[in-house]
């Protein structure tokens, strides 16, 4: 602080309290609505103090959209995306910083190009790829006329068709989201700052490439991995478009989609109390992660956008 | 002695050989191939094809899908809506985040509490943020809607397009202020104290110092955030639109990325949807290149 400015400091506190009010107001009203009965939530204006039906509403939400299962799905998907992204990014970042091979720059650019296209812009074709991930193989079969080749060889007429459907499955929810240019880039930047002497020393001691990776590079990256994992967990938990598209089975979707299905529409009963209790329940795990691991979360947020 | 031959982004001491790095890269490249490159190529191909909804007949139609788009009133409406939405969201987000970051930088007591609370919405899914605001603004039960009506204004986002737009802009900004805030705050904290002290000695007050020293030094950060806000507004707000307004009423909140989804999955107009995808991809590409050009000029964030 350069000088004392009591008035300005006071104004700053006021502004920040305003900011906090802005952040908390929707959350507070969600809590109020979530704790009332359906009749009470229709009152205008809404009461300012919470009622005592919160657990009841949670129970209703729980049975209405099978929330227990949805929360489990969200957890599996978020953890799966986190572990998947971190591992494939660590491996590919190691390959492009620590190995000299002919297609190194090509690999780098192939990965980097994917940074540019979020899943939202290629919805339909990506969906088709997941609906039948074996499609490219089918193309090859069609291209080389393998069916007729087989017919010619064996005299039997068969249609060769392959299918690998990932709709309504965990792999369908997780796999398309784990390729990550930004995570790869983050680890690459970090590896470039690791002292050269470490590898030279490890080599003198006769360590192989993978041993160097496991015993030296991985432990050094620990803080980066933790920080990134938090961001990726939030990313996975809060996914919307992808689970919406590739789950048709109500028990295979995620909690966020469950909340969406609880919102009252014009032709349903106005059960805002249930929808709000479900929303609060769904945001609880990521909010706890951010509150408990705030320092790591900020590091992850700032690092992963560099 | 000649300088050692050095490839960019390669460690001075490194391994040689192809087999191991190829194996290490394989998982990433396979996933990219299946879920990224093949879909992108298919979108490109699809953009030049016209097929009926059941895929029975397919014609190659050159640029007809694109030309049809430029002539379509609903697409032009979608472009307008997207521009209004992203601009409004961008301005609101940066302004509020800037004020809060400035204030946080000034106060000593309670700084970490303020920071912790302002950051909370980052943890909340866009769809859920949308649901929270949809409730507040609900014309029948919402407390904010009640307040607006008690001031004598008509309010119904289910019927009035600009009300609906206001609602999604609020929800989208509320969710994204925290992201802008953390970068602006980090940037403010990184400004050397000596600069600010020198200006103070010359008689510049805190507000003047903020506008004449901090804001110019934050230039790259603000630029970066603007790009990120556009990316957010263009793509990630899909969830808010889908959960809250479904692009309505009458297309008033039908942003481009939502239209791709609607035309592709609901109206089954695949050629048009693919052409829209290609246009969006081009736009995303430009945004990334713009951002990438400035990646080296980025300030060093520590917090």
What would the 3-class secondary structure string for chain A be? CCCCCHHHHHHHHHHHHHHHHHHHHHHHHHHHHHCCCHHHHCCCCCCCCCCCCHHHHHHHHHHHCCHHHHHHHHHHHHHHHHHHHHHHHHHHHHHHHHEECCCHHHHHHHHHHHHHCCHHHHHHHHHHHHHCCCHHHHHHHHHCCHHHHHHHHHCCCCCCCCCCCCCCCHHHHHHHHCCCHHHHHHHHHHHHHCCHHHHHHHHHCCCCHHHHHHHHHHHHCHHHHHHHHHHHHHHHHCCCHHHHHHCCCCCCCCHHHHHHHHCCCCCCCCCHHHHHHHHHHHHHHHHHHHHHCHHHHHHHHHHHCC
> Are B101 and B217 part of one and the same domain?
yes
Range A23-54 burial, b when 16+ CB lie within 10 A, else e: beebbebbbbbbbbebeebeeeebeeeebebb
Contacts of residue A106 in chain B, CB cutoff 8 Å?
none
As a whole number of Å, the end-to-end CA separation of chain A is: 29
> Are B42 and B191 part of one and the same domain?
no
> Are B131 and B260 part of one and the same domain?
yes
Instruction: Judge whether B287 lies within some domain.
Output: yes
> Are B37 and B116 part of one and the same domain?
no
A211 contacts chain B (CB < 8 A): no
Pick the residue from chain B with its C-alpha nearest to A290.
B123
Interface test with B, best of A1, A14, A19, A214 (most B CBs within 10 A): A19
Domain A75-222: give its CATH architecture: Orthogonal Bundle (1.10)
A289 contacts chain B (CB < 8 A): yes
Q: What's the confidence (pLDDT) of residue A156?
A: 62
Determine the distance in angstroms separating the CA of A124 from the nearest CA of chain B, rounded to an integer.
6
Q: What's the confidence (pLDDT) of residue B3?
A: 45
Q: What's the confidence (pLDDT) of residue A116?
A: 65
Contacts of residue B24 in chain A, CB cutoff 8 Å?
91-92, 94-95, 99
* Containing structural domain, residue B53: 24-65
A163 contacts chain B (CB < 8 A): no
Q: What's the confidence (pLDDT) of residue A165?
A: 75
> Are B210 and B82 part of one and the same domain?
yes
The whole-chain average pLDDT of chain A stands at 84
> Are B86 and B44 part of one and the same domain?
no
| pLDDT above 60: residue A36 | yes
Q: Are A32 and B131 in contact (CB under 8 A)?
A: no
Determine the distance in angstroms separating the CA of B255 from the nearest CA of chain A, rounded to an integer.
12
| pLDDT above 80: residue A1 | no
Restricting to A residues 55-74, those with a Cβ less than 8 Å away from any Cβ of B are: none
> Are B31 and B145 part of one and the same domain?
no
Determine the distance in angstroms separating the CA of B111 from the nearest CA of chain A, rounded to an integer.
9
Q: What is the mean pLDDT of residues A125-151?
A: 68
Last residue of a domain, one of B15, B37, B65: B65
- Spell out the residues 6+ positions from residue B172 whose beta carbon is closer than 8 angstroms to its own: B85, B89, B126, B129, B232, B233, B237, B240
Instruction: Judge whether B132 lies within some domain.
Output: yes
Determine the distance in angstroms separating the CA of B280 from the nearest CA of chain A, rounded to an integer.
6
Q: Which of B124, B183, B284 sits opposite A116 (nearest CB)?
A: B284
Look up the CATH number of the domain holding residue B284. Answer: 1.10.3720.10
| pLDDT above 70: residue A306 | no
Compute chain B's Rg from CA coordinates: 24
* Secondary structure in 3-state letters for B119-159: HHHHHCCHHHHHHHHHHHCCCCCCHHHHHHHHCCCCCCCCC
Restricting to B residues 65-104, those with a Cβ less than 8 Å away from any Cβ of A are: 96, 99-100, 102-104
Contacts of residue B281 in chain A, CB cutoff 8 Å?
116-117, 121-122
Pick the residue from chain A with its C-alpha nearest to B112.
A294
* CB–CB contact A116 B116 (8 Å): no
Distance CA(B137)–CA(B145), nearest Å, equals 5
Q: What's the confidence (pLDDT) of residue B208?
A: 87
Burial of residue B193 (number of CB atoms within 10 Å: 0-12, 13-18, 19+): exposed
Higher pLDDT, B5 or A19: A19
Higher pLDDT, B2 or A164: A164
pLDDT digits (tens, 9 = 90+) for A223-277: 999 999 999 999 999 999 888 888 888 888 899 999 888 888 777 777 888 889 9
| pLDDT tier, A134 (very low <50, low <70, confident <90, very high otherwise) | low
Phi, psi of B31 (to 5 degrees): -60, -40
Q: What's the confidence (pLDDT) of residue A265?
A: 79
Restricting to B residues 150-189, those with a Cβ less than 8 Å away from any Cβ of A are: 158, 174, 179, 182-183, 186
Complex prediction ipTM: 0.85
pLDDT < 50 regions, chain B:
1-3, 296, 298-303
Higher pLDDT, A138 or A39: A39
Pick the residue from chain B with its C-alpha nearest to A137.
B34
> Are B145 and B184 part of one and the same domain?
yes
Higher pLDDT, A169 or B52: A169
Q: What's the confidence (pLDDT) of residue B295?
A: 54
Last residue of a domain, one of B5, B34, B65: B65
Last residue of a domain, one of B44, B65, B86: B65
Q: Return the percentage of chain A with pLDDT > 90, whole number.
A: 30
> Are B40 and B133 part of one and the same domain?
no
Pick the residue from chain B with its C-alpha nearest to A237.
B125
| pLDDT tier, A19 (very low <50, low <70, confident <90, very high otherwise) | very high
Q: What's the confidence (pLDDT) of residue B101?
A: 93
Q: A268-271, long-range: CB within 8 Å, 24+ apart, which pairs?
A: A269/A38, A270/A38, A270/A41, A270/A42, A270/B140, A270/B141, A271/A38, A271/A60
A204 contacts chain B (CB < 8 A): no
| pLDDT tier, A155 (very low <50, low <70, confident <90, very high otherwise) | low
Pick the residue from chain A with its C-alpha nearest to B159.
A266
Domain map (residue ranges) of chain A: 75-222
Higher pLDDT, B10 or A119: B10
Instruction: Judge whether B15 lies within some domain.
Output: no
Instruction: For chain B, give the DSSP string.
Output: -PPPP--TT--SS-EE-SHHHHHHHHHHHHHHIIIIIHHHHHHHHHTTEEE-TTSS-EEE-TTHHHHHHHH-HHHHHHHHHHHHHHHHHHHHHHHHHHHHHHHHHH--TTHHHHHHHHHGGGGS-HHHHHHHHHHHT-TTT-HHHHHHHHTT----TTT-HHHHHHHHHHHHHHHHHHHHHHHHHHHHHTS-HHHHHHHHHTT--HHHHIIIIIHHHTHHHHHHHHHHHHHIIIIITHHHHHHHTTT-STTTT--HHHHHHIIIIIS--HHHHHHHHHHHHHHHHHHHHHHHHTTTTPPPP--
> Are B57 and B76 part of one and the same domain?
no
* Tally of domains in chain B: 2
Q: What is the mean pLDDT of residues A114-123?
A: 68
């Amino acid at each position: 602080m350069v000088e004392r400015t009591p008035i300005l400091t006071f104004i700053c506190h006021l502004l920040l309290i305003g900011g906090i009010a802005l952040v908390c107001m929707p959350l507070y009203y969600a809590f109020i609505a979530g704790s009332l009965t359906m009749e009470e939530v229709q009152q205008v204006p809404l009461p300012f103090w919470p009622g005592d039906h919160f657990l009841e509403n949670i129970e209703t939400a729980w049975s209405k959209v099978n929330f227990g299962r949805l929360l489990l799905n969200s957890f599996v998907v978020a953890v799966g995306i986190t572990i998947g992204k971190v591992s494939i990014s660590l491996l590919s970042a190691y390959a492009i910083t620590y190995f000299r091979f002919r297609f190194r720059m090509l690999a780098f650019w192939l990965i980097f190009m994917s940074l540019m296209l979020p899943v939202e812009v290629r919805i339909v074709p990506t969906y088709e790829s997941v609906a039948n991930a074996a499609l490219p193989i089918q193309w090859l079969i069609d291209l080389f006329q393998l069916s007729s080749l087989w017919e010619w060889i064996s005299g039997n007429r068969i249609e060769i068709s392959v299918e690998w459907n990932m709709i309504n499955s965990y792999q369908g929810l997780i796999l398309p989201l784990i390729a990550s240019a930004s995570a790869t880039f983050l680890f690459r930047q970090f590896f470039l700052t690791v002292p050269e002497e470490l590898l030279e020393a490890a080599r003198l001691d006769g360590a192989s490439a993978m041993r160097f990776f496991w015993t030296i590079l991985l432990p050094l990256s620990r803080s980066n991995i933790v920080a990134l994992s938090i961001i990726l967990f939030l990313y996975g938990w809060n996914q919307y478009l992808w689970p919406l598209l590739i789950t048709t089975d109500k028990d295979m979707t995620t909690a966020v989609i469950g909340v969406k299905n609880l919102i009252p529409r014009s032709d349903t009963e106005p059960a805002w109390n249930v929808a709000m209790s479900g929303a609060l329940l769904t945001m609880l795990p990521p909010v706890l992660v951010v509150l408990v691991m705030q320092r790591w979360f900020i590091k992850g947020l700032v690092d992963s956008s560099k | 002695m000649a300088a050692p031959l050095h490839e960019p982004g390669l460690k001075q001491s490194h391994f040689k050989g192809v087999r191991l790095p190829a194996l290490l890269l394989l998982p990433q490249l396979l996933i990219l191939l299946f879920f990224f490159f093949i879909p992108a190529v298919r979108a490109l191909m699809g953009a030049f094809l016209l097929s009926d909804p059941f895929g029975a007949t397919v014609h190659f139609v050159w640029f007809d899908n694109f030309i049809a788009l430029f002539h379509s009133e609903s697409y032009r409406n979608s472009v307008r809506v997207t521009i209004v939405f992203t601009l409004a969201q961008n301005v609101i987000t940066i302004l509020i985040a800037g004020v809060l970051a400035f204030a946080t930088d000034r106060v000593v007591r309670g700084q970490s509490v303020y920071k912790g609370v302002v950051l909370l919405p980052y943890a909340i899914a866009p769809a859920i943020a949308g649901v929270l605001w949809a409730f507040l603004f609900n014309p029948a039960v919402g407390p904010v809607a009640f307040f607006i009506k008690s001031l004598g204004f008509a309010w119904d986002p289910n019927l009035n397009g600009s009300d609906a737009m206001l609602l999604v802009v609020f929800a989208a900004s509320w969710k994204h202020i925290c992201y802008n805030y953390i970068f602006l705050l980090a940037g403010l904290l990184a400004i050397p104290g000596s600069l600010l002290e020198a200006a103070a000695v010359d008689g510049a007050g805190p507000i003047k110092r903020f506008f004449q020293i901090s804001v110019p030094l934050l230039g790259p950060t603000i630029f970066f955030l603007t790009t990120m806000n556009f990316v957010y507004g263009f793509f990630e707000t899909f969830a808010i639109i889908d959960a809250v307004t479904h692009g309505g009423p009458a297309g008033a909140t039908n942003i481009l990325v939502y239209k791709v989804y609607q035309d592709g999955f609901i109206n089954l107009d695949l050629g048009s949807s693919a052409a829209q995808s290609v246009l969006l991809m081009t736009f995303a590409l430009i945004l990334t290149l713009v951002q990438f050009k400035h990646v080296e000029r980025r300030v060093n964030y520590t917090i």
